[in-house]
Structure 1
Amino acid sequence: MSIENKMIRFKILEDFKAEMAVVDSVAAFRRALIEVKTVMGFDYVALTQHADIFEGVGTVIRVHDYPALWALQFDGRRMGRTDPVHRASHTQAQPFLWTEISNMIQMRREDWAVFANAEDCGIGDGYTVPVHVPGESNGSVSFAMAVGRPIPYEMLAIAPQIALHAFDAARRLWKMRPAPLAMPILTAAQIRCLTWSMLGKSDWEISQIEKCQEVTVKKHAKDALARYGVHKRTLLITRTLLDGTLSLGDLAAG
């Protein structure tokens, strides 16, 4: 690869990073994503969370420019969670070519049919970047080619960074997590009690661990619920995992 080509790739990435840092609407985001995939030499792009679009209308991140016929089939068969590309992306953090999928997951007859249908709709080879954010639906960014057109392999060097910057910008636009300054703040005692609760401890058990009265544990839980404006501890735990107050690592630590 020549120095000139490396500089071209570097400029594409830096320009896109700058644009994603300030993009302020879904429409502008979509235009920028489609523009960058075109500049990179790809024919199609799809940035999506792996969820049933009908179960989360308005809240599931999905931006693509795949052929309309394929999108119609994809939605009609409710393939958000069963698509083989999506399933393969759940098995690793590294990007992969679609030609590698049969070595990543057990391919079923219907999976091969998915690729055949995609080809009938004009979609050929592709390259997918998995995106996994704890507490949120798994996602991915796929760059694809029209049938018979080769993948621009020289652009795979920047495709993962392009994908991650795009997904972070999408999460911001779709408001997947609250702004840090808008997060409720729990006391250290509330966080400790909530962590033990997440680990399955009863209020009495927590009181023994924390060397306090059971009524104190219940008060910590009640106050934490009030700060988040929720009424169930399961929802409280979910909210604290989403805003980073707690982490899945706390489960392992317990």
Structure 2
Amino acid sequence: MACLAGFAERANRVADLVGLAGLVAEMARDLGFAHHALAEHGEPADGCLFLHDYPGRWADAFIARAMHRFDPVRQAAARRVGGFGWRELPRLVTLEPCQRAMMSEACDIGLGEGFTVPLHAPGMRVASCSFVCPPGEPLPRHALPAAECLAYLAFGAAHRLLGVRWSRPRLTARQRQCVALVSQGKTDWEIGVILGLSEETVGKYLDAARMRFGVARRTQLVAAALVAGEIGADPAEWL
């Protein structure tokens, strides 16, 4: 989590979307991916966020042929909460011939297996962040939890730069302590030993924190807490 906390600090200092795109690309490469795309789902004419480093040929074709209207990755992301690999698409959505052709064309251009993180925020467009490997290379499975956190951090940083504001949930002191220790990789039992709480009580604090942020996973909770400023680069400072 330390590298993600460092990314959060740098992203909060970046001055524009171009700088943010560079930071995300750097982090994505460190995790084992060749490309990324952070996008709000909607019509490009509406000013939807589309931050990416996809091959130019693919980005141009995607926009010119309005592929966002039948993109199976976006369809699946609109129905999901947790991240998913593109190999799962046939199980998540019914793929039409044009969608299968689209994915094949993307692979021919240089986009292989991908991992997409759905991004849902109250009162905002559905969005998603995808991380993609070169054709023929498998997903770096060990890096997927970090990629999921990166997606949430990048999404929050992008909307800060765009001037979008929304009410941020606040955690209680105990919830903040538990989340800070989760960011250090501690289990509920270990957190209980450190804070003098039962494992069950720690679970309740973390469940309440997840509800406040509207997320389902521990990785998402840590990312959301970092974006909201509830924990910082040094989790020990919150204990």
Q: TM-score range by the shorter chain?
A: 0.5 to 0.7
SS of 1:123 mapped into structure 2: coil
Per the alignment, residue 13 of structure 1 pairs with: 4
Q: Which residue of 2 aligns with 1:61?
A: 49
- Give the counterpart of 2:135 among 129, 132, 147: 147
Q: State the alpha-carbon separation in 2 of the partners of residues 80 and 136 from structure 1.
A: 18
Percent identity for Structure 1 against Structure 2:
32
Alpha-carbon deviations, 1:150-191, whole Å to 9, x = none? 2211111211111101001111111233799xxxxxxxxxxx
**Structure 1: gaps spanning 5 or more residues:** 1-9, 181-254
Q: TM-score, normalised by structure 1?
A: 0.63
1:22 aligns with one of 13, 16, 31: 13
2:159 to 171, 188, 206: 171
The equivalent residue for 1:98 is 86
What is the match of residue 214 of structure 1? none
Post-superposition shift, 1:106?
1.1
Q: CA RMSD in A?
A: 1.6
Are 1:159 and 2:139 an aligned pair? no
Q: 2:71 aligns with which of 83, 91, 101?
A: 83
C-alpha contact (below 8 Å) 1:127/1:143 kept by paired residues: yes
**Which residue number in structure 2 is paired with residue 128 of structure 1?**
116
Q: 2-side partners of 1:136 and 1:29: how far apart?
A: 20
* Post-superposition offset of 1:135: 2.0
| Residue 24 of structure 2 corresponds to residue 36 of structure 1 | no
Matched pairs, number: 168
The structure 2 residue matched to 1:47, chosen from 19, 38, 50, is 38
Aligned residue in 2 for 1:209: none
CA distance in 2, matches of 1:51, 1:163: 18
Which aligned runs of 4 or more in structure 1 are off by greater than 6 angstroms? Answer: none
**C-alpha displacement of 1:102:** 0.8
Counterpart AA for 1:41: G
The question of whether the paired residues in 2 share the 8 Å contact of 1:52 and 1:79 is answered with no
- Alpha carbons of 1:179 and 1:96: their partners in 2 closer, same or farther (altered >3 Å)? closer
| Structure of larger gyration radius | 1
2:126 counterpart letter in structure 1: N
Q: CA deviation at 1:24?
A: 2.4
Give the superposition deviation at 1:80: 2.2
**TM-score where L is the length of structure 2:** 0.67
Q: Which amino acid aligns with 1:139?
A: A
1:114 pairs, out of 95, 98, 102, with 102
Q: Distance in 2 between matches of 1:133 and 1:82?
A: 22
